[in-house]
């Protein structure tokens, strides 16, 4: 099983991912296969490290480099090969519980939900990390549109069972805001505000 280094080389990892997407072609299967290999090599436990690499790409990459990674992500999405991490389905806390695979943004949305009173990500951490991944996708208008449509579809699928209604409502608010304009911070706030409103009304997790 892969293990995270004591001092992860985030910059080098981001540069390697950018180089692969640019060299192989952002809308080519080879770049998607590379991204899949990176994600699979890390495994579910280190999937957040993959998301951190995407955030680092957004932070340090030039516009063309960021667009290449964004185009690779959305090409993977169109093929049903979006690099994903698994989380236990909501309400399933016992060992061996059923798990679901989630793409980067929906994974972070579920991580920000305070299941059993405690979230894996604080609102600030969610806005920082999810905002960075979304800003990366903002580099390509088609990537943003297609991913926003994907998030809306996830939010509107009541049979999936992965997410509680609170997260679905927040995800729907995020998708609608983001689809309307390329403002990742505003869309992330829409998600956080939606969860906060539900908790205030007494509909949040107990």
Percent of the chain with pLDDT over 70: 83
- Strands 85-88 and 99-102, how do they pair? antiparallel
Token readout for 82 is: 């979006």
Q: What is the CA radius of gyration of the chain?
A: 16
Per-residue pLDDT of 132-166, as tens digits, reads 999 999 999 999 999 999 999 999 986 666 788 88
**Residue 206 reports pLDDT greater than 50:** no
pTM metric for this prediction: 0.87
**Residue 5 reports pLDDT greater than 60:** no
Which 3 state secondary structure label does DSSP give 153? helix
Q: How open is the CA angle 10-84-15, to the nearest 5 degrees? A: 25
Percent of the chain with pLDDT over 90: 61
Report d(CA 102, CA 82) in Å as an integer.
Answer: 9
- Residue 205 φ/ψ, nearest 5 degrees: -65, 150
Determine the pLDDT at residue 182. Answer: 87
């Amino acid at each position: 099983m892969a293990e995270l280094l004591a001092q992860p080389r985030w910059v080098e990892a981001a540069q390697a991912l950018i180089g692969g997407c640019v060299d192989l072609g952002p809308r080519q299967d080879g770049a998607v296969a590379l991204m899949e290999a990176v994600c699979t090599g890390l495994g579910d436990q280190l999937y957040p490290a993959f998301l951190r690499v995407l955030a680092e790409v957004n932070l340090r990459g030039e516009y063309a480099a960021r667009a290449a990674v964004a185009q690779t992500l959305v090409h993977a999405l169109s093929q049903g090969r979006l690099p994903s991490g698994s989380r236990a389905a909501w309400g399933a806390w016992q060992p061996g519980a059923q798990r679901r695979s989630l793409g980067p943004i929906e994974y972070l949305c579920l991580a920000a939900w305070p299941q059993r009173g405690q979230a894996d990500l604080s609102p600030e951490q969610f806005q920082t990390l999810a905002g960075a991944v979304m800003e990366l996708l903002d580099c390509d208008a088609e990537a943003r549109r297609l991913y926003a449509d994907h998030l809306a579809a996830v939010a509107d699928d009541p049979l999936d069972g992965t997410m509680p209604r609170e997260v679905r409502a927040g995800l729907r608010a995020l998708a609608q805001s983001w689809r309307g304009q390329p403002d990742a911070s505003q869309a992330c706030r829409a998600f956080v505000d939606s969860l906060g409103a539900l908790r205030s009304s007494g509909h949040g997790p107990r």
